[in-house]
Structure 1
Amino acid sequence: MGQEPLRVVLVAGEASGDQHGAKLVRQLRELCPEAAISGVGGPALEASGVRLLYRAEDLTLVGFSEVLPKLKVILGALKGMKRHLKEQRPDLLILIDFPDFNFRLGKAARRLGVPVLYYISPQVWAWRAKRAQQMAGFVDHLACVFPFEQRFFQLNAPMLPLSFVGHPLLDEPEEFDPRSLPVPQDAEVMGLLPGSRMSEVRMLLPMMLQAARIMREQRPGLHFVLPLAPGLPLAKVQPLLKRLPSGTTVLTGLAPQAMARARALLVCSGTATLQAALAGTPMVVVYKTGGFNYRVARSLIRVEHIAMPNLIIQRRLVPELIQETATPEKLAAEGLRLLTDEERRQRMIQGLRDVRLRLGGPGASRRVAELALSMMEKKPR
Structure 2
Amino acid sequence: MKYYLIAGEASGDLHGANLMKALSKIDANASFRCWGGDLMEQAQGTLVKHYRDLAFMGFIEVIFNLRTILQNIRFCKKDIEDFQPDVIIFIDYPGFNLRIAKWAKQKGFRTHYYISPQIWAWKEGRIKSIRRDIDAMYVILPFEKEFYEKKHDFPVHFVGHPLIDAISDREQVHPEAFKKQNGWDERPVIALLPGSRKQEISKMLQVMLSVVEDFKEYQFVIAGAPSQEADFYAPFIQKQNVHLLLNQTYDLLSISEAALVTSGTATLETALFKVPQVVCYKGSRISYEIAKRVIRLKYISLVNLILDKEAVTELIQTDFSSEKLKKELTAILDPYRRATLFLDYYDLEKKLGGKGASDTTAQLIYEALSAT
Alpha-carbon deviation of 1:86?
Answer: 2.7
Note if 1:135 corresponds to 2:100: no
Q: Secondary structure of the residue that 1:360 maps to in structure 2?
A: coil
Q: How does 1:311-326 map to 2 (within 5 A)?
A: 311-326=305-320
Residues 1:107 and 2:102 aligned together: yes
Task: Find the partner of 1:85 among 55, 80, 84.
Answer: 80
Question: Paired residue for 2:6, among 5, 11, 29?
Answer: 11
199-208 or 83-92: which moved more?
Answer: 83-92
The 1:51/1:299 distance shift into structure 2, 3 A limit, reads: same
Check if 1:328 corresponds to 2:326.
Answer: no
Matched, 1:238 2:238: no
- Native 8 Å contact 2:148 2:155 kept in 1: no
Aligned to 2:340: 347
**Displacement of 1:285 after TM fit?**
0.2
Instruction: Indicate if the aligned counterparts of 2:102 and 2:129 stay in contact, CA closer than 8 A.
Output: no
Query: Hey, what does 1:378 align to over in structure 2?
Result: 371
For 1:177, the aligned partner's letter is: H
How far 1:130 sits from its partner (Å)? 1.6
Q: AA paired with 2:84? A: R
Q: Does 1:248 pair with 2:245?
A: no
Q: Which of the residues 296, 305, 316 maps onto 1:302?
A: 296
With 182-191 and 246-255 compared, the bigger mean Cα shift is at 182-191
> In the alignment, what sits opposite 2:71?
76
- Aligned Cα root-mean-square deviation (Å): 1.5
Q: 355-364 or 178-187, which moves further after superposition?
A: 178-187
TM-score, normalised to structure 1, is: 0.92
- The runs of 5 or more residues in structure 1 that have no matched partner are 1-5
1:147 equivalent among 131, 142, 145: 142
Partner of 1:177: 174
CA apart distance, 1:262:
1.1
Could you say which residue in structure 1 is the equivalent of 2:202?
202
1:223 maps onto 2:225 in alignment: no
- Post-superposition Cα deviations, 1:217-256, rounded to whole Å, max 9, x if no partner, equal xxx3211122211221333332333x32x22221102111
Q: Give 2:16's match in structure 1, choosing from 21, 31, 50.
A: 21
Deviation at 1:185, TM superposition (A): 6.8
The letter for the 1-side match of 2:218 is L
* CA deviation profile, 1:301-348 (whole Å, cap 9, x unmatched): 111000111001000000000001001221111101111x32111111
Pairing 1:284–2:278 present: yes
Rounded to whole Å, the distance in 1 between the matches of 2:355 and 2:173 is 17
Counterpart of 1:3?
none
Which moves more between the two structures, 35-44 or 311-320? 35-44
- State the match for 2:354 in structure 1: 361
Tell me how far 1:56 sits from its aligned partner. Answer: 1.5
**Deviations, residues 187-235 of structure 1 (Å, cap 9, x unaligned):** 222111111222210110111111222x22xxx3211122211221333
Tell me the SS of whatever aligns to 1:191. strand
Letter aligned with residue 131 of structure 1: R
Question: 1:173: Cα distance to partner?
Answer: 4.2
Kindly indicate whether the alpha-carbon contact (under 8 Å) linking 1:59 and 1:70 is maintained by their aligned counterparts in 2: no
SS at match of 2:101: helix
Contact 2:230 2:246 in 1 (8 A): no
Q: Tell me how far apart the structure 2 counterparts of residues 122 and 173 of structure 1 sit (CA, whole Å).
A: 23
Q: Deviation per CA, 1:26-48, whole angstroms, max 9, x where unpaired? A: 11112113212112111111121
The reply to whether residue 338 of structure 1 matches residue 332 of structure 2 is yes
The residue type paired with residue 290 of structure 1 is S
Q: For the residues of structure 2 that align with 1:337 and 1:378, how far apart are their CA atoms? A: 55
Contact 1:136 / 1:157 at 8 angstroms: preserved in 2? Answer: no
- Where does 1:251-262 land on structure 2 (aligned, <5 Å)? 251-262=245-256
Q: Which of 254, 265, 269 in structure 1 is aligned with 2:263?
A: 269
Amino acid at match of 1:157: H
Give the C-alpha shift of residue 186 in structure 1.
Answer: 4.2
* Matching residue within 41, 48, 51 for 1:46: 41
3-state SS in 1 of match to 2:231: helix
For residue 122 of structure 1, the aligned residue among 104, 117, 124 is: 117
CA contact (8 A) 2:149 2:155 kept: no
In structure 2, C-alpha distance between the alignment counterparts of 1:370 and 1:304, rounded to whole Å: 35
Give the letter aligned to residue 275 of structure 1. Answer: E
| Aligned CA distance change for structure 1 residues 296 and 18 (closer, same or farther; 3 Å) | same
